[in-house]
Amino acid sequence: MRKHIVAGNWKMNKTQTETVELINELKQQDLDANVGVYISPAFVNLSKAVALTADGNIQVAAQNMHQSPNGAFTGEIAVNMLQDIGVNHVILGHSERRAYFGETDELLREKVQVALDVDMEVIFCFGEELNERKEGTHFDVVKKQLTTALFALDVSAWRNIVLAYEPVWAIGTGETASPEQAQEMHAYIRSLIEYHYGVKCADDVSILYGGSVKPANAAEIFAQPDVDGGLIGGASLNATDFAAIVNGFAS
């Protein structure tokens, strides 16, 4: 059965000192033990985060990685560097990587494969832009993203994939998809997985929603049957807000 997951994407925020502070604050919170809690600090703070969370239930994820195992790629980080410091989860395909760093689904297919080859768990992000939602092409866009990046994978790969549907128009804008819009898209995504990989795989994959999730709206979004949690940006930078979101599932 699929897991409930809430992942905090800290983006390019928090120095090492602030990272330590925020993790210590998070550790003081009463977090629902049935929810997989992830945090994703910047690369330079990952080691510290791994050390500080070793005694608890918080997982640490990287925000990106390179598609090559090593080599002359100045400024980049390889998957074995992450694993060697104890990071076993990576966010790939975030809309900011796509928009500002030119990441395509073809490139992401490579990154996903490289991560899965060494048993890294991938949180794969995708979602339509505002004009695509307005034109009514959002289902086609999502289908194409998933088809290109993921649907050539073998069914066994899916045990290490978490999906994060993030409509670009809802990220950092304060505008959230309505619970109905999220449910409609998540059910569609699950139907695509069922079509390609069968009902068990579709039932087992966790599909997170991301885009302006806050303590005030988390519960109604998480109450949707095909929403298994959230990828949280801004609100993950505050321990009490993040904890309230983690605790937003009905028991």
The residue with its CB nearest to ligand PGA is: 233
Q: What's the rounded Cα separation, in Å, for the pair 229 and 93?
A: 18
Min CB(235)–ligand PGA separation in Å: 6
Of 65 and 202, nearer to ligand PGA (C-beta) is: 65
138 classed as catalytic: no
Min CB(146)–ligand PGA separation in Å: 18
Site string for ligand PGA, 110-149 (x = CB under 6 A): ----------------------------------------
94 classed as catalytic: yes
Q: What's the rounded Cα separation, in Å, for the pair 186 and 189?
A: 5
Residue in 103, 128, 132, 166 annotated catalytic: 166
Residue in 89, 94, 138, 186 annotated catalytic: 94
Site string for ligand PGA, 5-44 (x = CB under 6 A): ----x-----------------------------------
Site string for ligand PGA, 198-237 (x = CB under 6 A): ------------xxxx-----------------xxxxx--
Min CB(248)–ligand PGA separation in Å: 13
* Among 196, 244, 236, CA closest to 217: 244
Q: What's the rounded Cα separation, in Å, for the pair 223 and 202?
A: 18
CB atoms within 10 A of CB 168: 22
Looking only at the bridges linking them, the beta strands covering 207-210 and 229-232 are parallel
Binding residues among 138-197 for ligand PGA as defined by CB under 6 A = 166, 171-172
Q: What's the rounded Cα separation, in Å, for the pair 248 and 241?
A: 11
Q: What's the rounded Cα separation, in Å, for the pair 65 and 79?
A: 6
Min CB(242)–ligand PGA separation in Å: 10
Min CB(94)–ligand PGA separation in Å: 6
Q: Which residues of 67-80 are buried (b: 16+ CB within 10 A; e: fewer)?
A: beeeeeeeeebbbe
Q: What is the DSSP string of 130-187?
A: HHHHHHT-HHHHHHHHHHHHTTTS-GGGGGGEEEEE--GGGSSSSPPPPHHHHHHHHH
Of 98 and 138, nearer to ligand PGA (C-beta) is: 98
Name the residues that contact ligand PGA, by CB under 6 A: 9, 166, 171-172, 210-213, 231-235
Catalytic residue IDs: 94, 166
